[in-house]
Structure 1
Amino acid sequence: MTRRHHFHIDHRGHSVSATVRTGHSTVVEILVDGKETGYGKTRGDEPVTVPVELPTDPPTAVSVRVTPGPGEPSCRLILTADGEPQVMAPRAY
């Protein structure tokens, strides 16, 4: 059975959202400021990391790391410069 989970964080004045579809495979779509900027796919409960850029000047490289399970998925924003992960809050959608 496929389920959708949504996560969100505001970072450096930009909105980063993730939609995670779980099931036989896991599909991750990343939106930055409402525009789709990243996509990833994995099988089962294997984690997936999707690299994206924040539209700053110069652009800021970040990654979104999704751990699909077991249980409820979790999502973290990873700042490439220092590698410090920030938890993205789950959202009802």
Structure 2
Amino acid sequence: MRRRHHFHIDHAGHSVSATVETGHRVEVEVLVDGKETGHATTHGDRPVFVHVELPTVPPTPVVVRATPGPGVPRCVLEAPDAAQPLVMSPRPY
């Protein structure tokens, strides 16, 4: 059974959202400031790394790491200016 999970974080003045659709095949979609900027798929509970850029001057490369399982999915944002990965908050919608 497929299920969608939503995550969000604000970083460096930009909105980063991720949707993780679980099931046999896991799909991850990343939006930066409301625009789709990255997409990836995997199987099972393997982590997915989606490389995107924040529209700063110059652009800032960041990585959204989605871990589909086991259990409830989790997402973190890995940014060069953060000492450790930033946990993205789950959204109920």
Question: TM-score interval w.r.t. the shorter chain?
Answer: over 0.9
Distance across 1 between alignment mates of 2:69 and 2:20: 11
The aligned residue for residue 46 of structure 1 is 46
TM-score (norm 1): 0.96
TM-score (norm 2): 0.96
Aligned residues: 93
* Superposed CA offset, 1:47-69 (max 9, x none): 01000000000000000000000
* Superposed CA offset, 1:16-68 (max 9, x none): 00000000010000000000000010001000100000000000000000000
Q: 1:83 to 1:26 in 2, by over 3 A?
A: farther
Distance across 2 between alignment mates of 1:83 and 1:18: 21
Q: Which runs of 5+ in 2 are unaligned?
A: none
Q: Which runs of 5+ in 1 are unaligned?
A: none
Q: CA RMSD in A?
A: 1.1
Percent identity among equivalent residues?
67
Q: CA deviation at 1:84?
A: 2.3
User: 4+ runs of 1 displaced by more than 4 Å?
Assistant: none
